[in-house]
Structure 1
Amino acid sequence: MELRRGSLILAVLGALQAEQYGYTLRKTLEDCGLPVDEGTLYPLLRRLESQGLLESQWREEDKRKKRFYRLSTQGAEIYTRLLAEWKGIGEAIAELNRTT
């Protein structure tokens, strides 16, 4: 459970290197093999924004108001750090699997 939550945070931060609104973000994650329901995604987006990792802006597109999200400067720094940690963990697990 915690692994999925952590990987979802990393995936959201990575996907939001390019600005997206909620629906397109959800579709991007799903297309990459990480389906997430709205009841999980939108609270996560609000939490990441309140932590200063994301910025959002309401805009009208196709005559509908949509909230667009993107990484903040702090979010980009955290993403880089988390990605390096994730890769390190993956390498350690791969090494353990080779030696057992």
Structure 2
Amino acid sequence: MPIEDDLFEKLRIELRRGSLVIAVLGALREERYGYTLRQSLEDAGLPIEESALYPLLRRLEAQGLLNSEWREEGKRNKRFYRLNADGTEVLAQLLAEWNAISTSILRLTEKDQ
């Protein structure tokens, strides 16, 4: 029985949600504003809608992992984000966890078990 596209899409979104947190933290090791962050994620194969990105950025900043500041650039005010020291530490921990989970999943899904 084939899996319904709707079910797959729901599971895919759930999987991406946690992955995007790691991707955003990793991308913000360099200072970026929203548009350039979104472009870098898309270029890496992780497109994200603005309606999902900005709430994520606000949440990560409220959790104390990012710093942001408004600056004028090209006669426009832009909010720049960057990972702070706590964010760097959390990113390292999440990457270690991600690698452990990935290794376990690969072990569990290998054909020659």
Check whether TM > 0.5. Answer: yes
Question: How does the TM-score come out when normalised to structure 1?
Answer: 0.95
Q: Which structure exhibits the higher relative contact order, with contacts defined as CA atoms closer than 8 Å and separated by 6 or more residues?
A: 1
* SS of equivalent to 1:59: strand
More displaced 10-residue stretch of structure 1: 49-58 or 90-99:
90-99
1:46-65, aligned counterparts within 5 Å? 46-65=58-77
> Matched residues in 2 for 1:14 and 1:88: separation?
18
Matched residue, 1:94: 106
Kindly report the root-mean-square deviation, in angstroms, between the aligned alpha carbons of the 2 structures.
1.0
Matched residue, 1:41: 53
Matched residue, 2:7: none
Identity %: 63
Who wins on radius of gyration, i.e. which is larger?
Answer: 2
> Matched residues in 1 for 2:108 and 2:60: separation?
33
Q: Amino acid of the residue matched to residue 76 of structure 2?
A: R
Question: How does the TM-score come out when normalised to structure 2?
Answer: 0.85
Q: Does 1:72 align with 2:84?
A: yes
**Paired residues, what number?**
100
Q: Amino acid of the residue matched to residue 2 of structure 1?
A: E
